[in-house]
């Protein structure tokens, strides 16, 4: 107990004694992590919007003109039983024509000279949520094309694939930036702790003299690093949150972008806590690596 208290007290003392260094460490770590957080936040929101768009996937199954009512009903039943189908609406030829006329009143006269209604009947299908919407959409489309009575299946796969690709690039970017900025933060913390360690080298020598183990000597510095990391990530989150709220307030004032405001989300509480824990662990690890080499010296 006394030992644990000593280690904790030494960590806080070190932090306090080297206040200027500690503050520099916290601020630089905060800005580095905030840069990563900004990227992460952008990625999170792009992914959310993309997911929302992807979950709203619609497939239009056009029917052959000569399909009988019985075959149509059988096809409808077949589609309703499909586990990929979340919702299904039948649009008759007459409804299709009415919708066309409503949507394109100027062009509707083009259809008048070409005899009976040329627009096909169709099923408008909303697909169930999926983790891989692009692939599922393609699978579904190819499968349904083979169904009896189906003339043509239309689904807009290209933009889904583009969106998936963009998200993938964002993910890779996030991992890359995470590694680079994480290493930068770790280096800053390691440097701060190294300076603290060097400033207290006499104390370290005394501890060695009286039989302190490497771990006992290193622990206050590891805790100090963890504190720097946690505070740095806390400040980074604070900066991000403030920036995020300012952006949201600005968007609320804009007539055109006010809808976007409701789509924007900050990191959930669990993610924020995890980011602070990650900063803490990063700081502890950097400190450990920084003081570890000193622990091997046989003085």
Partner 1 sequence: MIHLFHVTKYYQGCLALHDVTLRVEKGEFVLVTGPSGAGKTTLLKLIFGSEVPTEGQILVQNRNIARLRPSDIPYLRRTMGFVLQEFKLLPGKTVFDNVALPLIIRGLSSTEITRKVMDALRGVSMEHKKTAWASVLSAGEQQRVCIARAIVNSPLILLADEPTGNLDPQLAHDITELFKAINARGTTVMLATHNRQIVEQVNGRVVSLHCGRLVTDQGGYR
At closest approach, how far in Å is the CB of 211 from partner 1? Answer: 4
- C-beta closer to partner 1: residue 128 or 212: 212
| 116 vs 211 by CB, closer to partner 1 | 211
Which residues contact partner 1 (rule: CB under 8 A)?
A: 1-3, 6, 13, 202-203, 205-214, 216, 296, 298-299
User: Least distance from C-beta 198 to partner 1, angstroms?
Assistant: 16
Q: Which two tokens stand for residue 214?
A: 């490497």
Closest CB 190 distance from partner 1, rounded Å: 22
Rounded to an integer, what distance in angstroms lies between the CA atom of residue 234 and that of residue 239? 9
- What CA–CA distances, in Å, run from 199 to 12, 170, 208, 209, 260? 15, 42, 16, 18, 52
Residue 156 or 213 with smaller CB distance to partner 1: 213
As a whole number of angstroms, the distance between CA 179 and CA 235 comes to 20
Q: Report the residue number, 114 or 209, with the smaller CB distance to partner 1.
A: 209
Q: How far is the CB of 21 from partner 1 (least distance, A)?
A: 17
Q: Report d(CA 10, CA 174) in Å as an integer.
A: 37
Give the pair of three-digit tokens for residue 276. 């602070």
Q: Which is nearer to partner 1, 70 or 299 (CB)?
A: 299
CB of 168 to partner 1, least distance (A): 47
Distance CA(73)–CA(68), nearest Å, equals: 9
How many angstroms separate the CA atoms of 260 and 201, rounded?
55
Contact 287, 192 (CB under 8 A): no
Residue nearer to partner 1 on the CB measure, 65 or 205? 205
Element counts in the chain: helices (H) and strands (E): 10, 4
Given the complex with partner 1, which of 49 and 212 has the nearer CB atom? 212
Q: How far apart are CA 25 and CA 230, in angstroms?
A: 11
Name the token pair of 250.
């600005």
CB closer to partner 1, 3 vs 114: 3
Tell me how far apart the alpha carbons of residues 195 and 23 are, in angstroms, rounded to a whole number. 13
Shortest CB 283 distance to partner 1, Å? 24
Q: How far is the CB of 219 from partner 1 (least distance, A)?
A: 12
Contacts of 128 (CB under 8 A, 6+ apart): 83, 84, 85, 86
Q: What phi-psi label fits residue 232: left (phi over 0), alpha (psi between -120 and 50 degrees) or beta?
A: alpha
> In sequence order, what are the beta bridge partners of 123?
61, 90
CB of 19 to partner 1, least distance (A): 15
């Amino acid at each position: 107990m006394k030992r644990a208290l000593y280690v904790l007290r030494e960590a806080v003392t070190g932090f306090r004694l080297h206040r200027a260094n500690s503050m520099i460490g916290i601020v630089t770590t905060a800005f580095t992590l905030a840069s990563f957080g900004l990227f992460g936040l952008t990625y999170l929101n792009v992914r959310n919007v993309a997911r929302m768009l992807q979950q709203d996937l619609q497939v239009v199954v056009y029917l052959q003109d000569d399909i009988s009512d019985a075959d149509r009903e059988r096809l409808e039943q077949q589609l309703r039983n499909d586990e990929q189908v979340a919702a299904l609406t039948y649009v008759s030829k007459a409804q299709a024509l009415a919708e066309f006329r409503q949507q394109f009143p100027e062009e509707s006269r083009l259809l008048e000279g070409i005899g009976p209604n040329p627009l096909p009947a169709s099923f408008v299908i909303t697909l169930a949520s999926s983790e891989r919407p692009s692939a599922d959409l393609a699978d579904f489309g190819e499968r349904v094309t083979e169904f009896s009575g189906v003339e043509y299946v239309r689904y807009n796969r290209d933009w889904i694939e583009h969106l998936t690709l963009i998200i993938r690039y964002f993910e890779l970017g996030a991992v890359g930036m995470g590694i680079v900025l994480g290493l930068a933060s770790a280096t800053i913390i390691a440097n701060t702790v190294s300076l603290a360690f060097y400033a207290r080298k006499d104390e370290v020598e005394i501890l060695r003299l009286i039989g302190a183990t490497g771990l006992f000597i290193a622990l206050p510095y590891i805790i100090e690093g963890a504190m720097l990391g946690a505070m740095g990530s806390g400040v980074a989150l604070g900066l991000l949150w403030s920036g995020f709220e300012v952006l949201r307030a600005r968007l609320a004032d804009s007539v055109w972008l006010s809808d976007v405001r409701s789509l924007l989300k900050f990191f959930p509480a669990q993610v924020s806590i995890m980011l602070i824990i990650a900063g803490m662990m990063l700081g502890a690890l950097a400190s450990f690596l920084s003081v570890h080499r000193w622990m091997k010296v046989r003085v």
